[in-house]
Every structure is written in structure tokens, then in C-alpha cells.
Amino acid sequence: MTFEIEIAGHVRTVSIENVGGVGPDGRFRLTIRDAANPGAEARPLTLDARPTDVGLSLLFADSGRSVDLAVTAQPNGEHFVQLPHVAVTAIVEGRRARRGGSGEASGSGEQRLMAPMPGRVVRLLVKPGDEVAPRQGLLVVEAMKMENELSTARAGRVREISVAEGQSVQAGQLLVIVE
Amino acid sequence: MKVLIANRGEIAVRIIRGCRELGFDTVAVYSDADRTAPHVRLADEAHHLGPSLARESYLRIDKLVDIARRTGASLVHPGYGFLAENEEFAQACADAGLTFVGPSPKAIELMGSKTAAREVAIKAGVPVVPGTKAPFGEDAPDALLVTEAERIGFPLLVKAVAGGGGKGMRSVAKAADLLSAVRTARSEAKSAFGDAAVYFERRLIGPRHIEIQLLGDAHGTVIPFVERECSIQRRHQKVVEESPSPVLRPDVRLKLAECAARVAREVGYTNAGTIEFLVDEQQNFYFLEMNTRLQVEHPITEIVTGIDLVHWQLRIAQGERLTIDPERALTPRAHAIECRIYAEDPDLGFLPSPGLVRGLRIPNGPGVRHDGGVAAGFEVPTTYDSMLAKLITWGNTREEAVQRLGRALAEYRVVGLKTTVPFFQWLVNQPDFIDSRFDTTWLDRVLTERRGQPFVAPSAADEQDAVIAAALAAWFRAHGAAAGSPVDGRGAWRWAARMDGLR
């Protein structure tokens, strides 16, 4: 099987072959290629991967190197991989998902401010029609007892406010549209 | 005998452990969000309080007292936060014939008001930070706020009279920002503590936050402990605490301890409490406030002195005399450091990151203590504080404790949430931290300079490992989901089920 894996904009193509044992209690051969340079020679890696209570235990066949990691998959293909000293977000089949997806209105200059976490709208700091500066606070959402002022990166005019003061919001819920 | 623990999270778990060690039965309480929380599962019995919102559950004095009565609990331990510093709760317990594990309602009222506490300190001959005498109520006119602020001078701090944990506190650099800071501080204080009163205090330059734990019994004995240094703060919230302070001179330690004990004696203080001081570069110190409860960071004191504070809280509440050797309480036997592990994304400005804990591996081994309040499978609610756990390490020296901390952090895995673990992994490698060159403004300053740069950047080898992990995860999902072609082994089934659950 082949997967496209993207980390910080850098895409690799990974082909996986189950070469010994069966399923997760077995050994795998992986070939990783840079998607930007598919013709380059790629040396296959052989490793033993097993599920653990928190994720995967990897043992590399050549060196015996042991990597104990946790991995969490999001519905959008994002995999949050926690290595011993660092965490990395890797997107599986991100280009395919984006090609097939509805596509966000990004080119039009419209900015949609979504709730980054679930919480409660404490205060609205702007109203429709207001001109706003980059990173100007648009509203305050309280989560885990802290008030967080939310803003958009670019300047614009507030077209729509989709929530009211006191309202509870879910992560990813649309709060404000700035155009 | 039974103890009702009027709290949740890691501190409820900590108190249950202490109760059990002394042979008390434990009664937990919980809100809708906490039915499967560790404190509920660990207690001997647990009773439902109400909806998740704190004011409908953990802040309901009537329900807590009623549950204590119904279950036959004779003691009530409030933990920290929620009703821990609410004199009405302490009084309601007393009125119902319950023993409140903490100071008297009068002491809570007096020391809980930050302005009244300052007066007590002045009376006890302890220096205080310049600030307003009387608090400003909700109806205080703007003109008065401005006049008083200008009298004290900028920069100043707007602080909730009932505040704590950095909530209801704002720093103001210039007069123009005063009124909006007062508004936010009030709004936060009102929702967190139910009291919108605020006061102003001069902000010292380059101060360290150093505090003295103490215990007082009903027979007039007050024992101060070796200090805790809590200068690593983000937005006035402690992030790392250590004991002893890496910089405090031994003679200043004794003076601080003596001043703390004087303040406590002045109000006939009983049970556990903490006096906070600001200490400037010349090691002049100023009384800041008193916390009339067990502190979040109490474990580091327990480790360096070998004295169990929760045990003593329970014993003092039952009228026992303190038999701790004062010398021992003031002599550190080790160096201990605590990190507060929050469900926050350090790379997104420490934005709260609540959600389901899908997996948890807790560090262990020599010199490590973990006081946690969540388990794998528990959904961290959005309603409460985002602290998941406290990771504490210790060693014979500070250097050893810091090395252990780095080792323990690398073992730590909280799966499913973003936590502050990567931030601490960055912190333990900072020369300023290693060499103890910091004050209470250090962390905020460094964070501003970093402008959101990630705390730990992956190497090329790390990226390769992540690519492999993500690809294998996708492979297993594809195979687990393919009906009729199951992969062998119980592990495979568990894996497939887990990956399914993630989609």
C-alpha cells in the first residue's frame, strides 16, 4: 500500500509491505520517497511495529533502534505523533482530501474565525460593519476558566457575527466572518 | 470516620490518598462531567452534585453539606480552588456539626480579603508592597479608580480581592489601559470567585515570588517550612515551583519564616496556609498575600522535608498538637521541582486543549512523583481549570532534580490532547532556567520574544519517524477496517478497534 504523508508542507510517498508474521504482530518493509523527487533512489527500511497501550513500538531491523511513540488520528487525516522528545503533526493523504474537499474560501480575502476550542462566548468586542486591524480582539471566549481574546491575522471589515454573548460554542464552530 | 472531599481532579485524588493512609473512609462528589473521573473511582463512595457548571455543582454549599450529613462524614476537606477559601462554606460546615479541614471562617475571611490581609501583615510588622487600602466594589466610579491608580503609580497590578491562580489579575503599564483591565479582571473574578471587587498594587521590578508554607494547630503552635520559589509564571500563573529557592540566602530564609509565622499568629491561624512574598534583587521582601488552604505546589515541601501536609491537616482538624521539629521543617533534605501539566497547546499561545485522553503513560522511577487527576478514557471537561497533573522530581542537588525532570518528561505521554509537556522539555534546556536566572516576569518576556516559535523543533530523523508512524497507522486502519480479511492476533483487533474509534 502507498500513502502520501505531509509534514509542514513537505510531502513523502511511503509504500508499505507486510513482510513477515501477520498484521500488526509482524515486520514491515517501508520505502519513503520525496514526492518532489520521485526518481531518487530510496533504500527500503525494515522494521518491526507493534501496537502498545499508547501507540506503536518500532524496532528498526538494521540498528535495533527502539522508538516508542504515541499517535492520534484526526478525522481530517492529521496524525499527531508524539515521539520521546518532540511531537509532530503528519497529514495522511492531505492533497487527495483537499482535491476532493469542498475547498475553503481563502482566495477571496474572506477570513472565517472558528472557535479553536469549546467554550463560552463571554463578550463580543466588535459588531457587523466594524473595520478591524490585524490581531485586533473580536470576541472573548472563556474555556477552562481563562478568558481568551480571539482575532484574525489580517485587517478587514466584520461581515457577520455568528454567535451571541453567553452562547456555548464547539471547537471549529464559526464565530465571525471578516472580509 | 469519613472525610468528604469537596473537590475534583488531582487534588481530590491526593486528599483521598492521605485520608486512606490515616484510615479514614472517603466520600467523593462529582458533577455530570466527572462521573468517570479518577477521584470518583478511587473514593469509597461518591455522590452526584449536579450539572457540570461549577456554580451548579462544586460551588453548591447546600448540596455539599447535605451529602456530608447523609453519608455520615464528620470531616470536610475543601482542597484548593472552588470553596477552599470561602468562609461561608467553612461556617456552613461548622453550623452542620462538620469539621472543616482548614482554618476558622474568621481567618479565611480576614486573610482571604487581600486588602485586610495587608493590614494584618502591617500590624505584625511585616513589610508590604505599596497598594490601595480599601477594595473597589462594582460601583466604584471610574474617576476614583484613576485617581487611586495614579497615586500608587504605574506599572501596577489590578487584583481581584478574592483572587488566586492568576485569575482576576491584570498588569497595567499606563493610565489609558486601566479601565479595560479593571473590567476584564472583574469579569474573570466574578465568574471564578463570585466576587468582582478589585484592588491595586504597585508592580515591583524584577521580583521573585517566594512563599512560606506553614501549619498551625489549635493550641497556638505555628510551624513555618522551608521556602518554595514560584517565580516561573505565565500571566501571573505559577508554572514551575521549586524548593528550596536556588538563590535565597539562609539568613533571609529564617527572616521570611519568622515573618510568616508572625502573620499567622496575629490571626490565630490554624491548619495549612501559605504566606507569599515578593523578594527583590537585594533580597528585601514584601508580604504579598496569604493562601488559607493547601497549595497546588505542596508536594515539593513534602518531599524536601519528609512531612506529609495532608496528614497533618487532618490531624490538626481533629485537635491534635503539632509535634513537628521546627528545625526539620526548615532544613531541606533534597531539591524538588514541580511542573504543572496543563491541557494547553504551548505552540498555539497556550490555548486550552480539552478533550478525550486516549492514552496515558506516567513517568516513574527514582525521584519522581506524579499527582494526577485524569486517566486514559477520561474526557477532560472545558468547564474547569486545565491542569491535568503535577510532575515532581527531586534529587540531592538542583542539578540532579533538573536532569530527572528532563528524563521524566521524555517518558511522559498524554495521548489525544495537547499538553504543556513540550514546553517544559524546552524549559529544562534553557540556560537561564538551569542557572536560576529568572524573576516573575522572565517567562512572559521570553515567550513574547519567541513570537510563537515552536518549543521543540523536530530533527530530520524525528520527521522520518513521524512519517513512518503515520503511514503505519494508516496501514493498520486500512486493514482493520477491511471486513473479511482480519489480521491475526488480539493486538490487531485492539488496534483496529482503537483506530476505528478515532475516525
Give DSSP secondary structure letters for B49-114: EESSSGGGTTT-HHHHHHHHHHHT--EEE--SSTTTT-HHHHHHHHHTTPEESSS-HHHHHHHHSH
Round to whole Å and give the CA distance between B391 and B388. 10
pTM of the model: 0.82
Q: Does A97 touch chain B (CB under 8 A)?
A: no
Within 8 A by CB and 6+ apart from B276, the residues are: B209, B210, B211, B287, B288, B289, B290, B291
**Average pLDDT value over all residues in chain A:** 84
What burial class does residue B502 get, using C-beta atoms within 10 Å of its C-beta: 0-12 exposed, 13-18 middle, 19+ buried? middle
A5: chain B residues, CB-CB within 8 Å: 467, 470-471
Nearest CB partner across the interface for B468, out of A24, A25, A30:
A30
Q: Are B224 and B235 in contact (CB under 8 A)?
A: no
- How close A68 gets to chain B, by Cα (Å)? 9
Tell whether the model's pLDDT for residue A105 goes beyond 60: no
Residue B497 has pLDDT above 80, yes or no: no
Q: What percent of chain A has pLDDT over 90?
A: 37
Give the model's pLDDT for residue B303: 98
Contact B243, B335 (CB under 8 A): yes
- B118 among known catalytic residues: no
Catalytic one of B203, B228, B293, B369:
B293
pLDDT bracket for residue B481 (50, 70, 90): very low
Amino acid at B265: R
Whether residues A117 and B413 touch (CB distance < 8 A) is answered with no
Question: Rounded mean pLDDT of chain B?
Answer: 92
Does any CB of chain A come closer than 8 Å to the CB of residue B482? no
Whether A104 shows a pLDDT value over 70: the answer reads no
Q: For residue B380, what is the nearest residue in chain A, using CA coordinates?
A: A144
A84 interface with B at CB cutoff 8 Å:
yes
Which regions of B106-246 does DSSP assign to beta strands (E)?
A: 156-164, 167-172, 198-202, 208-216, 222-224, 228-234, 237-243
| B149-176 core/surface letters (b: 16 or more CB in 10 A; e: else) | beebebebbbbbbbbbbbbbbbbbeeee
Contact assignment for A23 to B492 by CB distance below 8 Å: yes
**Strand partners for B275:** B212, B290
CB-CB under 8 Å, A144 with B386 = yes
pLDDT of residue B352: 92
Reference B79, options B117, B50, B39; nearest CA is: B39
Which segment of A141-145, B33-37, B268-272 scores lowest on mean pLDDT?
Answer: A141-145
Decide if B474 and A93 are in contact by the 8 Å CB cutoff.
yes
Which residues in chain A have their CB less than 8 angstroms from residue B471's CB? 3, 5, 14, 16, 30, 92
Coil vs helix vs strand at B5: strand
Amino acid in position B77: H
Look at residue B355 and tell me whether its pLDDT is greater than 60.
yes
What pLDDT score does A99 carry?
58
Contacts of A70 in chain B (CB under 8 A): 359, 361, 413, 415
To the nearest whole angstrom, how far is the Cα of B318 from the nearest Cα of chain A?
A: 34
Distance CA B75, CA B87 (A): 16
| Chain B residue with the nearest C-alpha to that of A1 | B475
User: Quick check: B457 contacting A, CB < 8 Å?
Assistant: yes
* Location of C-alpha cell 530564609: B253
User: CA B258, CA B277: separation in Å to the nearest integer?
Assistant: 13
Write the pLDDT tens digit of every residue in B205-236.
889 999 999 999 999 999 999 999 999 999 88
Quick: pLDDT tens for A145-175: 778 888 887 788 999 999 999 998 887 788 9
Percentage with pLDDT > 70 across chain B? 95
Give mean pLDDT, residues B183-191: 89
Cβ–Cβ under 8 Å, residues B357 and B417:
yes
B212, β-bridge pairs: B275
A42: pLDDT confidence band, cut at 50, 70 and 90? confident
> Is B353's CB within 8 Å of A117's CB?
yes
A75 vs B: CB within 8 A: yes
C-alpha cell at A60: 528498526
pLDDT for B66 equals: 98
Task: Give the pairing type, strands A168-169 and A119-124.
Answer: antiparallel
Tell which residue, A74, A76, A72, has the closest CA to residue A95. A76
Least confident of A50-64, A85-99, B135-149: A85-99
B125 Cβ contact list (under 8 Å, min separation 6): B259, B262
pLDDT of residue A96: 66
Greatest mean pLDDT range, B20-29, B197-206, B486-495: B20-29
What pLDDT does B139 receive? 87
Pick left, alpha or beta for residue B157 (phi over 0 → left; psi -120 to 50 → alpha; otherwise beta): beta
How many Å apart are CA A19 and CA B468, to the nearest integer?
Answer: 16
- Element (DSSP H or E) covering residue A57: strand A55-60
**Listed ranges A70-84, B132-146, B164-178, B403-417; the one with the highest mean pLDDT:** B403-417
Q: Is the pLDDT of residue A106 over 50?
A: no
CA–CA separation, B34 vs B380, rounded Å?
A: 9
pLDDT above 80 (res B164): no
Contact B463 A47 (CB under 8 A): no
Is A47 in the B-facing interface, judged by CB distances under 8 Å? yes
Is ipTM beyond 0.90?
Answer: no
Nearest by CB to B358, from A14, A72, A93: name it: A72
Query: Is residue A51 less than 8 Å (CB to CB) from chain B?
Result: yes
Cα-Cα-Cα-Cα dihedral of B239, B242, B247, B248, to 10°? 110
